[in-house]
Chains A and B, each alone.
Chain A
Amino acid sequence: MRVTNRMMVDNAIQNMQSSLEKLNRLQGKTTSGKQFEKVSEDPVSAAFSLSLRSSFQTAQSYSTAASAAGDWMAASDAALGQMESLALLALNKARAGATDSMGGDERKAYAVEIKELVEQALQEANTKFQDSYLFSGYQVRTKPYQIVPEDPAVPDDADSVRYDGDGGTINRNIGPQQLVSVNVDSQMPFVALFDAMLAARDALQTNDGDGIRTAVGRLEDAMNGITNLRGDLGSRQRAVQAAVKKLEDQQFSIETLLSEKEDLSLAEAISELRHQETTYQAVLEVSQRTLAMTSLFDYLR
C-alpha cells in the first residue's frame, strides 16, 4: 500500500481523538460515580433503575402512611388503656360502696370520687391526635362525647352521655391494596361505661344498695367491652407494625438493587482510568514521532 504523509498525520490525529474521548468518558464516570448520566448511555439499566427509583419513592410514601397509621393507633391504644384503668378504679369504688356495712356519708364520698373519674374518662374519650378526635368516626373535627345534665322538668331523668360522632370507619393504606381501619367503633362500649359510671355515682349518692350492686354488674360488663375494644385494636396494630417492617425491608432491598445498577465500582473505574491514561501517553508518544518525522527532502543533497 502506498502511504502518504497525510495518511499518517490523519491517523495520528484520529488516534489521539478517540483515545482522548475514552479518557473523557471514564473521567466523567469516575467523578460522577454513576454508571450513566443519560438514558441513552445504557437504556436497559436506566429503565430498570428509573422504575426502581419510582418504587423506592412509593414504598417510602407507604411507609410514611403506615407509620402515621401506627401513631394514630398507638394514641388510641393509650387513651383506651387510660379508660380501662379509670373503669377499674370506678369499679373498685363501686364494689367498696356496695358493701352493706357502708354508711350513707361514706357512699357519698365514693360518689364524689366516681364523679371525678367520669370527668377524667370524658377527657380520655375526647382525646385529640394531631387536631383530630380519635373516637368520633369520620367527624374528626367534632368533639364526640358530652355529658347531658338531667332535666329537672322531666321526672326520673338522670345525667346521660351524648355521642356526636358518626361511628365511621377510617381506613388507611399501609401498603399497595392493603387497607387497615385505624379507629375503633367506640360508641357502644363508651356509652355503656359512662352510663354505668353515672348510675354507680347516682346510686352511691342516693345510698341505694341495690342500685349500687346493679351498677357494679354494669361496670364489669362495660369494662369488658373496653378490654375487647383494646384487644381488637391491638391485633390491627400488630398488622401495621408488620407492614412498616416489611416496607422498611423493601426499601432497603430496593436501595441495594439501585446501587448495584447505578453506582460505579470505583476500584474498577479507577484502574480502567489508569489504563486509559497510559494508552493515551503511548498514543501521544507515537504521534509525536509521526509528526516530527523527516522526509527524503532532508537527506537529498
Chain B
Amino acid sequence: MSPLISGMNLVLRAMLAHQEAIQTVEHNVANANVPGYHRQEVLFAASRAHPAPGFYSAAGGPGQLGTGMDVEGVRRYKLEVYDLPYWRTLGEASYWNGRNEALERVETALPETGSASLITRLDEFWDGWRALSSDPADLVLRAQVRDRSVALATAFNQRSNQLQDVRLELSTRMGSLVDEINQTAQHIANLNEEVAQVLGQGNRPNDLLDQRDRLIERLAEISGAVSYEGPDGQVSVSIGGHALVVAGSTFTLNFHNAPGEKASDRLSWSADPPVSPGQLDPAPVGGELAGLIGVYDQDIQDQLDGLDSLAAALRDKVNTAHKQGYIADGVTHGLDLFVGTGAATLAVNPAITGAAQPLDLIAASGVDGAIGDGSNARKIAEFQAVAFLAGGRTVSETYLAQITGLGQSIKLAKGNGEAQQLVSATLRQQRESASGVSLDEEAANLAKYQRTYQALARLMTSLDEMMDQVINGMGRAGR
C-alpha cells in the first residue's frame, strides 16, 4: 500500500509544482511590457530521497528511493553587474541632457543670430555716432543717437532680465526634483521594510524588488544616487556620499527658497546641524539635478557677469568721452550719457532724456563753440574698433567670445549627452537581454510544463487504477 500512496503524493506534488511553473509563465507574459520587470523562473529540484532498506539490497544496506520533485524557489533574473553600470551611465546621460536643456534655454534668452542681437545694437549705436559726426547740427541724426543709445541700454536690460527668468525656471525645476528625491526615498524606505518582512518569512519578494529597483534607477537618473544592498536585503541609498535612505529611515534633502544664493548653497540635509552656506558640500555628484545646478551657478553667472562688466566698461568709456565734448550750445560740456551699475540697470541718463531739449544735450562737438565740428561724436564712434576691454578686445569681440563660449558649452553638453545615452542604451540592452521576457521562450516553457502536467495526470490515473485494483479487486479470490 505504502508505495502506492506515496506515489500518489509524489505525483500530486509534481502536478502542483507544474501549476506553479505555469503560473509563473503567465506572470512573465503579463509583465512583458512592464518597465524594470525582471523575468522569473520556478526552480525545480529533485526532493530528498529516503533510504529504503530492501529485500534485494546488498547486506541490508540502505538504498535510495527517489521521492519526486519540489519547488525550490522562484528565481528573479537580476544581474548586478548589469544594473550598477547602467544606473551610473543613466545618471551621467541625464546630467549632460539636463545641462544641455538648461543651456539651450539660456541660449534662447540671448538671441544673437537674429537682427535683434546685442552686437547689431552695438553696431547701430556706433553707426549713429558716426553719422552724427558727419553732420553734428542735424536734429534727425541727434535723435537717432539718442534712440539707439536707449535701444542699446534696453538690449542689455532684456538679456539680464531674461537670464534671471531662466534662473527662476531652473529654480522651480530643481525644487520639484528635490521633492521627487525625497518622495522616492520615502517610498524606498517603505519597500525596504516590506522586503525585510517577506524575507524574514523565508519568501522571495521578487515583485517588490522590481519596484524598488525602479525607484533606485529613477534616483540615479535625477541625482546620481548610488545604492548598496545589505545582507538583510535592505538597500542603503546615498547621494554624493551622504546617506539618503538607510533601512526604513530617510534623510530629507532641503532646497531653500533664497533666490539670490547659489543653487548649491541652497541645498542642505535636514538631519544635519545647520551650517552657513558654502561650508556644506551636498551637491549631487551626477544626474539632472547636478546638471541644472552647474548651469545655474556657473554658466548663467558667467553670462550675467560678462554682460555686467561689458555694460560698465561701455558706460565708463562713452561717459568719459561724452563729458569732454560740447553740447549744442557750444559752451557747456556733456553730461554722463549712461547711468546704471550693470546690465540690468543700464539706462540713458534721465537728466538727458527728461530734459526740455534732450537732443541738444548730446555732446557731438569737440571744439569750443564749433557747432559744425563732430570730432567728439567721431571719437565715440571710433571706440567701436578700440580694444579697451580685458584681453585686448573690442566690445563686440568680447561679447562675441562670450556667446561663442556658450555655444561651445552647449555643443559639448549635447555631444556628451548623446554619447552617454548610447552607452546607457547598450547597457540597457545587455540588462534586457538577461532579464527581459522573451515570449517565444515563455511559449516553449508553457508547452513543456503543460506536456509534463499531462503526463503526471496520466500517472495519477494509472496509480488510481492500481489502487482500485487493491481496494476493490483484492480478497475476492474464489467468490
Which A residues have a C-beta under 8 Å from some C-beta of B?
A: 1-7, 10, 14, 36-41, 43-44, 46-47, 50-51, 53-54, 57-58, 61-62, 64-65, 68-69, 130-132, 136-141, 166, 168, 170-173, 176-177, 295-297, 300
Contact = CB atoms under 8 A, between A and B. Distances in A.
Given A3-B438, A132-B137, A140-B371, 15 more contacts: A4-B437, A39-B407, A40-B103, A40-B414, A43-B411, A44-B404, A46-B113, A51-B397, A54-B122, A65-B130, A131-B138, A132-B372, A141-B372, A168-B367, A177-B382
A166 B330 CA distance: 14
Interface string B427-440: 01100111011111
B208 interface: no
A236 to B, nearest CB: 15
Contacts of B381: 173
B457 interface: no
Nearest to A43: B407
Binding site secondary structure of chain B: helix
Contacts of A177: 382, 385
Nearest to A47: B404
B472 to A, nearest CB: 38
| Size category, B interface | 35 or more
A3 B126 CA distance: 66
B179 interface: no
A137 B438 contact: no
Contacts, number: 166
B137 A131 contact: yes
Given A2-B433, A43-B407, A140 B372 contact: yes
Interface string B389-416: 0000000110011011011101100100
B443 interface: yes
B123 A65 contact: no
A39 B371 contact: no
B133 interface: yes
A138 B374 CA distance: 9
A189 B344 CA distance: 57
Interface string B353-391: 000000000000101011111110010011011000000
Given A39-B407, A50-B112, A132-B135, A138 B400 contact: no
B433 A7 contact: yes
B110 to A, nearest CB: 8
Contacts of B436: 4-7
B140 to A, nearest CB: 10
A109 B152 CA distance: 66
Contact of B371 (A36, A51, A130, A139): A139
Given A5-B438, A43-B411, A47-B400, A300 B137 contact: no
Interface string B230-264: 00000000000000000000000000000000000
